[in-house]
Amino acid sequence: MSPSARREWLAPVLLLSLSVVPVLAGALRLAELAGGAPIEPENARFFAAPGPVVVHIVTASFYCLVGAFQFAPTLRRRRPGWHRTAGLLLIPCGLAAALSGLWMTVSYPQPPGDGVLLTGFRLLFGSAMVGSIVLGFAAVRRRDIARHRTWMTRGYAIGLGAGTQVLTLGPWIVAFGQTSELSRALLMLAGWLINLAVAEHVIRRHKSRRTAHRAAVAAATGRADMAAPGR
């Protein structure tokens, strides 16, 4: 694999790496529900109403894992049919993951260690994820590919928040022990904000490249016109 090809696959590999811990945690939760694990305060709400959490785990895992490959430029160019088909599956999965997360936030009893502030953050970012996916879908229906990519990147960044939150919560717990309601809420907020900051950087970089490409094409066209016979 050439160095340029390796660079193009760096983003999907990093995104898949961020997805590993949440996906494994979700798989363990499904096994717990299927295997009839002992009911404790931490998991009682899932046994009482398993449907939403099953939907959330399955769709969020698919969204994070398959969605990572949408950020591989080579795959988009060489397999446009795959990109479109995957996108058609990712849109309902992303919406189901976000909406089931919102449902659990407002309907499940609040788990130990959470608080009103974290509930508010979950509602805010869950709603933002839904909005981003809907706007991205509306954009591609209008054939506005640039805006489609922008909104889908933001939606994916929010959906991958659980992966980055492992990195914000983990070091804190190792260094200081269990979090308080406030520190837990702020550390989870940091995970979402880090992802969105990276997403905005990627969006602006793509925009700069498109602008530079258009300028180069315009300059080349202008030179060609000046060199044409009769000028």
Q: What is the DSSP letter of 115?
A: -
Q: What is the pLDDT of residues 191-213, one digit of tens each?
A: 999 999 999 999 998 777 666 64
* Domain housing 122: 3-222
Render pLDDT for 118-157 as a digit per residue (tens, 0 to 9).
Answer: 999 999 999 999 999 999 999 999 999 999 999 999 999 9
Residues 6 or more apart from 32 whose CB is under 8 A from it?
Answer: 43, 46
Mean pLDDT over each residue of the chain, to the nearest integer: 88
Instruction: Please list the alpha-helical segments (H only) found in the chain.
Output: 3-35, 44-48, 50-68, 73-78, 80-107, 116-141, 145-159, 161-176, 181-227
Taking the C-alpha atoms of residue 19 and residue 68, their distance in angstroms, rounded to an integer, is 9
Is the per-residue pLDDT at 110 higher than 90? Answer: no
Question: What single-letter DSSP state applies at residue 178?
Answer: S
Number of domains in the chain: 1
In a domain, 216, yes or no: yes
Q: Which two tokens stand for residue 149?
A: 């990519």
Of residues 153 and 230, more confidence is placed in 153
Mean pLDDT, rounded, for 174-196: 95
Angle, CA 166 vertex, CA 122 and CA 68 arms, to 5°: 85
- What mean pLDDT do residues 26-32 have? 93
Asked if the structure places residue 231 within a domain, the reply is no
Whether residue 24 is contained in a domain is answered as yes
Indicate whether 228 belongs to any domain.
no
Whether residue 231 is predicted with pLDDT greater than 70 in this model: the reply is no
In a domain, 45, yes or no: yes
Residue 230 lies in a domain: no
Residue 191 lies in a domain: yes
**pLDDT of 205:** 87
Q: Is residue 79 part of a domain?
A: yes
In whole angstroms, what is the distance from residue 210 CA to residue 144 CA? Answer: 14
